[in-house]
Amino acid sequence: MKGRTLLRHGKEGVKNLARNSWMTFASISAVAVMLLIVGVFLLLILNLNHFATSVEEDVEVRVFIELTATKEEREELQSRIKLIPNIESITFLPKEEGLEQFIDSLGDQGEIFETLRSENPLYDVFVVRARTPQLTEQIAMKIEPLPYVEEVGYGKDVVDQLFKFTSFARQVGLFLIIGLMFTTMFLIANTIKLTILARKREIKIMKLVGATNSFIRWPFFIEGLLLGTIGSLIPIIILTYGYHKLYISFSQQLEFMVVDLLPANPLLYQVSSILIAIGAFIGIWGSMTSIRRFLKV
Amino acid sequence: MIQMKDVWKTYPNGVMAINGIDVSIAKGEFVYVVGPSGAGKSTFIKMMYREEKPTRGDVVVNGFNLGQIKEKNIPLLRRSLGVVFQDFKLLPTLTVFENVSFALEVIEEAPATIKRNVMKVLDIVRLKNKARFLPHELSGGEQQRVAIARAIVNTPSVLIADEPTGNLDPDTSWGIMQILEEINNRGTTVVMATHNKEIVNKIRKRVIAIEGGRIVRDDIRGGYGYER
């Protein structure tokens, strides 16, 4: 195709959008609303994922060592734990240090436990990390029967619940997004079909004077592309603004929050690209499906 | 140029429009296609530019076999033809110039060529001074002349006209006929379906009469032959 022709198609596409301004407005709004919902879900799911992973990474097996174990016995236990496959790291946490961490974590209120320093009730502990969080349970089971082990602890319930919840949220989100995409596609297809109906005559004349199908399709392609991309820009602006606000208010209260949000960069760039891609795709798809019928002259 | 051999056309709803037509139209001829309404004239004409596809038989136009022509070659066939309709089929939002140049734009002609050729054909149909007018600002005869200009702007070898004077008063019709004859004199084959008895009887040309989907008469210098 010649550059001049492409320019003509571009002009035609824009002209058609302007000529059917109400339809254009309706289509763009439909895309914008749909992509806004998709965008909110994307941000939600990505942050949920991020939260889940960060909690998962915190999952560790705490091996409480019998109080009676000697230093040699303790070292023997350590070397036996090291033999278990899929262990990322093992660190020794003496009970003095454990108490220190405990008191620190309580802040000001920790002071009342200061007296415990002379009568430390805690165990010496090995902190074992699995290579992937899913292996935690398996590893804990293997450590439990070893000698000199008093008890093995890990956040089993928390981990399981979290996995269930994130996968559920992912599925629901995906389902919603796909459903919304189809709804919007049909909306656009119908909107464009209405504008094409008005141009049916024009298409027929074009075909009768020897225009190829692709020549006729091009302006509609550009039209769909524009509808989709313009429609995606609106939710991108809203989401970018909203997320920045949310991020700032979150980080100001960070001390009280267990959760932290994903930083806006690169998250918003990624989400924006996805929204633009979806918008362009449904715009073009909607436009192309509705014109197909009219090309049979 | 145009050849039909044992051509049949049955529409999906069962209407048998063309029932075995054999005809040959040579280069440079001027042919009237006459016959009562519903006789198959329109289908006969539409098959020439492949708006309708023959159910059986061969339709060969400008070297394209229209029974077997591939979808992507249909535009090439239509570029080798010019078609004029009873209802003109002009685009109401485009000027006279744009309506004509449209036919060259779709085949991606260079802008300079487009301008030159459009002005040339507007001169032939005597509308050079109305190039900037919109169709609704013109009379019926003028609109039909724009449609003729559009049909001949890419210098087709065949001009097909489906009742070109059907919507026009007698005086205007003569004007259109004058232009069609002029185009024919330049070597273009003209096939014209018509109901206009006066024209057929006065401007004597080859007449093909169609009735019940068959050719019932084919005279080299025939008259209209129907009382209406």
Which structure tokens are listed for A259? 């959760």
Extended strands (E) in chain A: 61-65, 87-93, 125-130, 149-153
CB-nearest partner of B108 from A5, A202, A213: A5
Which of A89-93, B12-16, B137-141, B161-165 is predicted with the least confidence, judged by mean pLDDT? A89-93
Asked if A71 reaches chain B (Cβ–Cβ under 8 Å), the answer is: no
pLDDT band with cut points at 50, 70 and 90 for residue A254: low
- Answer whether B65's CB lies under 8 Å from B104's CB: no
Cβ of A206 within 8 Å of Cβ of B102? The answer is: yes
ipTM of the complex: 0.85
Closest-CA distance of chain B to residue A294, Å: 13
Instruction: Give strand pairing partners of B160.
Output: B83, B191
Specify the higher pLDDT residue, A148 or A53: A148
% of chain B surpassing 70 pLDDT: 99
Residue A159 pLDDT? 64
Q: What is the pLDDT of residue A19?
A: 79
* CB A16 within 8 Å of CB A219: yes
Residue B61 near chain A (CB below 8 Å): no
The DSSP H or E segment spanning A206 is helix A156-208
At B80, list the tokens: 């080798």
Cβ-nearest to B83 among A1, A202, A208:
A208
Average pLDDT over residues A72-90: 85
Q: Chain A closest CA to B173's CA: distance in Å?
A: 23
Chain-wide mean pLDDT for chain B? 92
Nearest CA in chain B to A215: B106
* Measured distance CA(B117)–CA(A68) in Å, rounded: 106
Q: How confident is the model at residue B99 (pLDDT cuts 50, 70, 90)?
A: very high
Confidence of residue A157 (pLDDT cuts 50, 70, 90): low
Contact B75 A208 (CB under 8 A): no
Mean pLDDT of A191-214: 82
Which residues in chain B are contacts of A211 at CB distance < 8 A?
Answer: 75, 106-107
pTM as predicted: 0.70
pLDDT of residue A261: 77
- Degrees, nearest 5: CA angle A266-A271-A273: 95
Q: Is the pLDDT of residue A255 over 70?
A: no
Task: Tell if the CB–CB gap between B78 and A207 is shorter than 8 Å.
Answer: yes
Quick check: A201 and B51 CB within 8 A? no
Q: Where is pLDDT greater, at B228 or B124? A: B124
Q: Residue A258: its pLDDT value, please? A: 57
Check residue A238 and give its pLDDT: 94
Inform me whether the C-beta atom of residue B115 falls under 8 Å from chain A C-beta atoms.
no
- Quote the percentage of chain A above a pLDDT of 70: 91
- A4: contact with B, CB 8 A cutoff: yes
Q: How far is B67 from chain A (nearest CA, A)?
A: 15
Contacts of B49 in chain A (CB under 8 A): 208
Higher-confidence residue of A161 and B195: namely B195
Please, which residues 213-242 of chain A have a Cβ atom closer than 8 Å to chain B? 213, 215
Give the pLDDT band of residue B133 (cuts 50, 70, 90). very high
Query: Cα-Cα-Cα-Cα dihedral of A124, A129, A134, A138, to 10°?
Result: -50
Please name the amino acid found at residue A28. Answer: I
Residues of chain A found within 8 Å of residue B72, distances taken between Cβ atoms: 212
Q: Average pLDDT of chain A?
A: 81
Q: How far is A30 from chain B (nearest CA, A)?
A: 29
pLDDT grade for A277, boundaries at 50, 70 and 90: very high
The average pLDDT across A70-97 equals 84
**Mean local confidence (pLDDT), B102-113:** 88
Q: Which residues of A touch B71 (CB under 8 A)?
A: 213
**Residues in a beta bridge with A90:** A128
Nearest CA in chain B to A210: B75
Is pLDDT above 60 for A184?
yes
Mean pLDDT of all residues in A112-126: 78
Decide: B97 and B122 in contact? Cβ < 8 Å.
Answer: yes
Contacts of B76 in chain A (CB under 8 A): 210
- In this prediction, residue A15 carries a pLDDT of 84
Quick one: tokens of B107?
């085949």
A201 contacts chain B (CB < 8 A): yes
Q: Please report the number of interchain residue pairs, chain A to chain B, with beta-carbon separation below 8 angstroms.
A: 47
* Mean pLDDT along residues A88-103: 81
B164 class by beta-carbon count within 10 Å (0-12 exposed, 13-18 middle, 19+ buried): buried
